[in-house]
Amino acid sequence: MTTRIEKRFADLKSEGRAALVTFVMSGDPDYETSMAIIKALPKAGADVIELGMPFTDPMADGPSIQAAGVRALKAGQTLKKTLQMVRDFRKDEAATPIVLMGYYNPIYIYGVDKFLVDAKEAGVDGLIVVDLPPEEDEELCLPALKAGLNFIRLATPTTDDKRLPAVLNNTSGFVYYVSITGITGSAAPDATKVSAAVQRIKKHTKLPVAVGFGVKNAESARAIAAGADGVVVGSALIDALRKTLEADGKGGPATVKAVTDLVADIARGVRAAGTVAAE
């Protein structure tokens, strides 16, 4: 059975362009503003939505996304509320895939079996759980695949050809290539090196390869999109959100507009890469 993620990447491949994958933290800066952002993302140009599950001890996230997680938790966000956000999103939007991204601890506390049932029922399409290596697939990956959810794994510049088969085993939907060695938002990726890395990964898998970490604007998105199946942007969106917050941390219509305006600009960059490639 073709999943929503697989269909979206296949459709975009037919269009001759890469996907724009947008990351926002669920519940940041508050439930209502976060919900408004998520609902506006597809119209702004997002092809896939990554929804962060806020956690107090992230290991791969830079300062921007860490702060987003803290804001969300202080505003009362929980994993249960994150799943409710997906349900609310699905009331009006059935086509855009949603991937939950985060860490295993909240899922473990929620209960793996209950989480998978609730996530599938809510309309979640895939999971990225950063701190579960392939050696722990029985914990969550295999049950998630059995439940009909894609399990997306990260590959990095230090994932060599010897390690790649283990990383790609049981990976589905797409492969998330981390363009830099470090945390999110910490450096600008080298598009030439990224393209070469994507081609190396593609020798091991037929899955689409989306590239994240360090994409900030339309120009960097176009450069990455020219050599990948997808571009992931997260920290730049979180930074745009943060700049609109009031002194008390509250968001509003300006917050939604700041995020969606940047998504629209980056989407133009992604589409421009596809146009160039087709010429």
How many angstroms separate the CA atoms of 70 and 54, rounded? 7
Is 50 known to be catalytic?
A: yes
6, 28, 50, 239: which one is catalytic? 50
Encoded amino acid at 265, one letter: D
- Strands in 54-198 per DSSP E: 98-102, 126-129, 150-151, 154-155, 175-178
3-class SS of residue 20 = strand
CA distance 19 to 230: 4
Contacts of 162 (CB under 8 A, 6+ apart): none
Distance CA 236, CA 64 (A): 8
User: How many DSSP H helices and E strands does the chain contain?
Assistant: 12, 9
CA dihedral 244, 54, 209, 89 (to 10 degrees): -70
Asked if 44 contacts 256 with a C-beta cutoff of 8 angstroms, the reply is: no
Please identify which of the residues 61, 118, 125, 229 carries the catalytic annotation.
61
- Annotated catalytic residue 118: no
Residue-by-residue DSSP string for 182-251: SSTTSS---HHHHHHHHHHHHTT-SS-EEEESS--SHHHHHHHHTTSSEEEE-HHHHHHHHTT--TTS--
Q: Which amino acid appears at position 245 of this protein? A: L
Residues recognised as catalytic: 50, 61
